[in-house]
A = this chain, B = another copy of it.
């Protein structure tokens, strides 16, 4: 099995080493960044990072800005490392899309427990059944339900919905969608997406309006 890759972002070398060593013992692959800018660069360059551990206080670009930047295009789980006294920011953080907090100082045990909990929860991606709003998608059985009613989807429709749900609440432009649902080198009309969206909306019935149009951009699937 492929190792799960975790990006650790902290400006203190000591802290990074601590976290890195523990996570490696637990069998994770660890990549490090020492400031926000580097974190963003690495995240976008390396597209199989499964979780980010992010310090708040950092030079160049702080943790919140990193979250904002990354959340524009990805739902990767993010755990913030906060110093004592930064608790009041947590509320703000959750609204930005932070998944969990760990207050420094923390025990390695807490760290791995939270990481594992988040990964398990986030592994919704590999789970058989994903629920998002009124829509329920079962990859294993290749079944979709909208408000409990089975919906009959074609292969492409299923793939498209899967992509939407896997990236729920993210604005996806047509190029994104084409590259991910169609072949990478698909050379066709980007309006094809529109047609499939139309069909999906129709087939999903009332849940169809979870697919929002983003004018001048593309689409978004809302939870």
Q: Which residues of A contact B (CB under 8 A)?
A: 87-88, 90-91, 101, 107, 109-110, 112-114, 116-117, 120-121, 128-129, 131, 136, 138-142, 154-156, 169-171, 214-217, 220
Contact = CB atoms under 8 A, between A and B. Distances in A.
Contacts of A154: 215-216
A169 B155 contact: no
Contacts of A215: 154-155
A117 B87 contact: yes
21 contacts: A87-B117, A88-B110, A88-B113, A90-B113, A90-B120, A91-B109, A91-B112, A91-B117, A101-B120, A107-B129, A109-B129, A109-B136, A113-B128, A139-B171, A140-B170, A141-B170, A141-B171, A142-B217, A154-B215, A155-B215, A155-B216
A168 B156 CA distance: 23
A171 B140 contact: yes
Copies in the complex: 2
Contacts of A220: 141-142
Given A87-B121, A90-B113, A113-B138, 6 more contacts: A90-B117, A91-B109, A101-B120, A113-B128, A140-B169, A155-B216
Contacts of A129: 107, 109-110, 113
A82 B138 CA distance: 23
Contacts of A88: 110, 113-114, 117
Contacts of A171: 139-142
Given A154-B216, A171-B140, A117 B113 contact: no
A18 to B, nearest CB: 16
Give the top 5 A-B pairs by smallest Cβ distance, nearest first: A155-B216, A142-B171, A91-B113, A87-B117, A141-B169
Nearest to A145: B109
A214 B128 contact: no
A168 to B, nearest CB: 9
Contacts of A128: 113, 117
